[in-house]
Chains A and B, each alone.
Chain A
């Protein structure tokens, strides 16, 4: 089915891809050596400085424009045994140091595990680029225990049904549709909204035009275009991966409400009824206080709210042509089919003896 020309083309493509990765890596490393030296200082977890007034865009919006990151090691839910909302500065520094060490250890150079996604090689570890430090023990700030609220019976049943369906589909190597959506280059699981940090390249670019805020997510070049004119949401027939966002300014704060999710990327087990309300407030030149509230009464017994700060990052954002260079999916599936063929041949040989 695949002609020789096409094969050659693909090989050229993969070589080109490698070359671009190498160039990107060099650029990234160069950028990091300049910009990444300074330890992250975004320890302003609490928006204490309420008095800050952001600069204005030409049309008078508070200016959120620029490059931002929300790379962090703070978990969504508070770890068991931790009872306070904030670590001390020393504790936070120690935890980040240990997390960074764990990340660096993730593969052993020269082993099989080293072949795929050794982030340290590409300078993509969270701790290797600009980083949004926080002293929070969990992103969740409400409920006060830092944990997700109890799941409703309906939510529990949905989770069980999804698990059953997932098992019915078979192993991830059987078909591309069985693989995680991030691997398939459709959307990164954390791209949201809410904008959870992705493991690497947790970078965003915000651009504001008259009546709109646009947020470009580096991963899979996902663009959020948020109208500010108070228009209603699209028809409930329209279900989208990133939902449908509407924004408004409340003083210094951009409030964005998102509905119309398609339920194919369920956030922490949510249903398509989920409503996410995000609040962006610039607290100084280098920090945006970012909080979001999740409401889905068919999943959780009450709404919950989490915070993860955005900190200025280094631009520009490069094209993340994920699908176009997705050799991972092809090679995984082709490898699995080759394994099956080999096993079948071995079994046939054994049977004939």
Chain B
């Protein structure tokens, strides 16, 4: 009787051990998650200068290499190919929005707000290809972007409502364990999502999840919801990389000056012909 119990216990332990070994071997159990270093007040420390290293700003969706937007720039401006950052298939545009996206693409040289040095909006600012800096404090997390000197103020206190629509939106953040979750609304309908004409309306609602995945990389995810433009919420995800240069800093890219002749050149007393 007693022996039988011992044998039963031993075999159970062996079977359980085998099972565990098998599941681990086949990758069923997730690898232990990375735990970010902590700030002095105990929050995951995401401070630093970060940058996307992908082709999302050219086109969020998978795309082959393509022609330059400007004949004169040849290969220098040719679209680099990208595997896409949209999870689970194409962006679910509503029929009218799909038509508009196509038009945007065709007229992108005149319509893309990036070309006019307008504020990039969210999520585009996060993967526009220039660095941005996260400055974390207990009540507020600032994100300062090199492009156009754009800035996001993420309120970490009690969530507040957007007082008016804006380019960069109104962001409320919270910590969910290792993850910084940012809920943003209050957007205008002027910014785009990339250079391919992907766009949104002022009903845009973005929920971002930022998690450290190693000392020098972050996982960045954004769920994009806009019932006026898309048939369902959809998600993009990508890593962000730390600028590890010891002297890395956000430099000035005040691009207004660079686009004045483009925007107002035809209104000069002597119209601008080139540049």
| A contact residues vs B (CB 8 Å cutoff) | 1, 6, 13, 16, 20, 23-24, 27, 57-60, 65, 170, 173-177, 184-187, 205, 207-212, 214, 216, 220-223, 225, 227, 231, 234, 238, 240-242, 316-319, 321, 323-324, 329-330, 333-334, 336-337, 340
Expressed in whole angstroms, the Cα–Cα distance for A165 and B256 within the complex equals: 22
Expressed in whole angstroms, the Cα–Cα distance for A240 and B188 within the complex equals: 30
Query: How many whole Å from A131's CB to the nearest CB in chain B?
Result: 22
Whether B117 contacts A225 by the Cβ 8 Å rule is no
- In the complex, B244 has a CB within 8 A of chain A: no
Contact A59 to B167, CB < 8 A, known contacts A186-B254, A225-B133: no
Query: How many whole Å from A35's CB to the nearest CB in chain B?
Result: 15
Contact A225 to B135, CB < 8 A, known contacts A214-B142, A323-B118: yes
Closest B residue to A232 by beta carbon equals B247
Contact A207 to B140, CB < 8 A, known contacts A227-B249, A333-B264, A337-B269: yes
Contact A323 to B110, CB < 8 A, known contacts A242-B252, A333-B267, A337-B269: no
- In the complex, B72 has a CB within 8 A of chain A: no
- In the complex, B80 has a CB within 8 A of chain A: no
| B contact residues vs A (CB 8 Å cutoff) | 39-41, 45, 47, 110-111, 117-119, 133-140, 142, 144, 149-151, 153, 155, 160, 163-168, 188, 190, 246-247, 249-252, 254, 256-257, 260-261, 263-264, 266-270
Whether B252 contacts A185 by the Cβ 8 Å rule is no
Whether A318 contacts B163 by the Cβ 8 Å rule is yes
Whether B268 contacts A174 by the Cβ 8 Å rule is yes
Expressed in whole angstroms, the Cα–Cα distance for A214 and B136 within the complex equals: 10
Expressed in whole angstroms, the Cα–Cα distance for A114 and B119 within the complex equals: 30
Whether A58 contacts B41 by the Cβ 8 Å rule is yes
Cross-chain pair count, CB within 8 angstroms: 138
Q: Which 3 A-B pairs have the closest CB atoms?
A: A58-B40, A333-B267, A209-B135
Query: How many whole Å from A151's CB to the nearest CB in chain B?
Result: 28
Chain B residues contacting A211 (CB-CB under 8 Å) are 47
Query: How many whole Å from A202's CB to the nearest CB in chain B?
Result: 18
Whether B166 contacts A238 by the Cβ 8 Å rule is no
Chain B residues contacting A208 (CB-CB under 8 Å) are 135, 137
Whether B119 contacts A57 by the Cβ 8 Å rule is no
User: Does more than half of chain B's interface fall in helix, strand or loop, or is it mixed?
Assistant: loop
Contact A176 to B264, CB < 8 A, known contacts A58-B138, A65-B137, A221-B151: yes
Chain A residues contacting B133 (CB-CB under 8 Å) are 212, 225
Residue of A184, A319, A333 touching B268 (CB-CB under 8 A) = A333
Query: How many whole Å from A116's CB to the nearest CB in chain B?
Result: 18
Whether A324 contacts B118 by the Cβ 8 Å rule is yes
Query: How many whole Å from B30's CB to the nearest CB in chain A?
Result: 30
Query: How many whole Å from A228's CB to the nearest CB in chain B?
Result: 12
Chain A residues contacting B254 (CB-CB under 8 Å) are 186-187, 241
Whether B139 contacts A223 by the Cβ 8 Å rule is no
Chain A residues contacting B252 (CB-CB under 8 Å) are 240-242
Query: How many whole Å from B201's CB to the nearest CB in chain A?
Result: 12
Whether A214 contacts B267 by the Cβ 8 Å rule is no
Expressed in whole angstroms, the Cα–Cα distance for A334 and B267 within the complex equals: 6
Q: List 11 A-B contacts (CB under 8 A).
A: A16-B165, A58-B40, A59-B40, A177-B260, A223-B142, A231-B247, A241-B252, A242-B252, A318-B164, A318-B166, A323-B117
Chain A residues contacting B118 (CB-CB under 8 Å) are 321, 323-324
Whether A20 contacts B40 by the Cβ 8 Å rule is no
Chain A residues contacting B247 (CB-CB under 8 Å) are 231, 234
Closest A residue to B167 by beta carbon equals A321
Whether A210 contacts B39 by the Cβ 8 Å rule is yes
Whether A216 contacts B249 by the Cβ 8 Å rule is no
Closest A residue to B250 by beta carbon equals A225
Most A CB contacts (10 A, CB to CB) among B111, B166, B250 go to B166
Expressed in whole angstroms, the Cα–Cα distance for A20 and B264 within the complex equals: 24
Query: How many whole Å from B170's CB to the nearest CB in chain A?
Result: 9
Whether B135 contacts A221 by the Cβ 8 Å rule is no
Expressed in whole angstroms, the Cα–Cα distance for A23 and B134 within the complex equals: 30
Expressed in whole angstroms, the Cα–Cα distance for A58 and B139 within the complex equals: 11
Whether A216 contacts B269 by the Cβ 8 Å rule is no
Whether A317 contacts B267 by the Cβ 8 Å rule is no
Contact A223 to B151, CB < 8 A, known contacts A27-B163, A176-B260, A330-B267: yes
What 10 new A-B contacts, CB under 8 Å, besides A187-B254, A316-B155, A321-B119?
A20-B164, A59-B40, A185-B256, A212-B133, A225-B135, A225-B249, A227-B249, A321-B118, A321-B166, A333-B264
Contact A319 to B267, CB < 8 A, known contacts A13-B190, A59-B39, A207-B137: no
Query: How many whole Å from A254's CB to the nearest CB in chain B?
Result: 15
Chain B residues contacting A24 (CB-CB under 8 Å) are 163-164
Whether A214 contacts B188 by the Cβ 8 Å rule is no
Chain A residues contacting B138 (CB-CB under 8 Å) are 58
Closest A residue to B186 by beta carbon equals A319
Whether A324 contacts B119 by the Cβ 8 Å rule is yes
Whether B110 contacts A6 by the Cβ 8 Å rule is yes
Chain B residues contacting A340 (CB-CB under 8 Å) are 269
Whether B264 contacts A330 by the Cβ 8 Å rule is yes
Expressed in whole angstroms, the Cα–Cα distance for A202 and B97 within the complex equals: 41
Closest A residue to B257 by beta carbon equals A186
Chain A residues contacting B188 (CB-CB under 8 Å) are 16
